[in-house]
Amino acid sequence: MHKQLGLLFLFLVLLSCNTNTVYNNYKPIKNNKWASEDKIVFEVENTDTISKNNIFITIRNNKDYKFSSIFLIANIKFPSGFQVVDTLEYEMADASGRWLGVGFTDIKENKLFYKEDVVFSEKGRYKFSIQHATRSINDVEGTNPLEGITDVGLRIEKISK
């Protein structure tokens, strides 16, 4: 029995190790209410100007999230000051209303592709900011906070050859 538990633990440790992860960080959303003007900011120091990377936005939501998709505005500011801004839409639930994220509790995590095959051509600090642009029919001005988002994250993974 102890041997089986030990093997299971070793398997889980090996499975959870991802040497390709360059950056992975989450920021909690206060009271699970994300105001559209609240930018979530991540600063990433880069020294590798050769490797290709995939960039993901990670969103954790609970059952209070009322929409089947989410709209985001993502910004990357390069060390030189150059900026790239994208407006993004991601599905959060399928047609039957079942959450697409993974998780065993009421919290689901969505790993959303943001950029593929990115080479960070400049050394230095990159600043990523993410804000939501999701509106309901009754909230065309974006004054009501988006409920049910618990955390917003950024993940960068080096593409292995």
Q: pLDDT band at residue 5, thresholds of 50, 70 and 90? A: very low
Share of the chain above pLDDT 90, in %: 70
Q: pLDDT band at residue 134, thresholds of 50, 70 and 90? A: confident
Q: Smallest Cα–Cα separation from 99: which of 72, 60, 140? A: 60
Average pLDDT over residues 123-140: 85
Report the C-alpha gap between 122 and 79 in whole angstroms. 7
Q: Please check whether residue 35 is in contact with residue 139, taking contact to mean a CB–CB distance below 8 angstroms.
A: no
User: Which domains occur in the chain, in start order?
Assistant: 20-158 (2.60.120)
Q: What is the 3-state secondary structure (H, E, C) of 38-62?
A: CCEEEEEEECCCCCEEEEEEEEEEC
What residue spans of the chain are helical by DSSP H? 2-16
Report the C-alpha gap between 75 and 86 in whole angstroms. 6
| Per-residue model confidence as pLDDT tens digits over 68-93 | 999 999 999 999 999 999 999 999 99
Q: What is the DSSP letter of 122?
A: S
According to the model, what pLDDT value does residue 140 have?
A: 58
What's the longest Cα–Cα distance across the chain?
Answer: 59
pLDDT at 13 over 50: no
Report the C-alpha gap between 22 and 129 in whole angstroms. 17
According to the model, what pLDDT value does residue 10 have?
A: 47
Within 10 Å of residue 55's Cβ, how many Cβ atoms? 23
What is the token pair recorded at 126? 């990159």
30 or 135, which is more confident: 30
pLDDT at 2 over 60: no
Q: Please check whether residue 135 is in contact with residue 87, taking contact to mean a CB–CB distance below 8 angstroms.
A: no
Average pLDDT over residues 106-128: 96
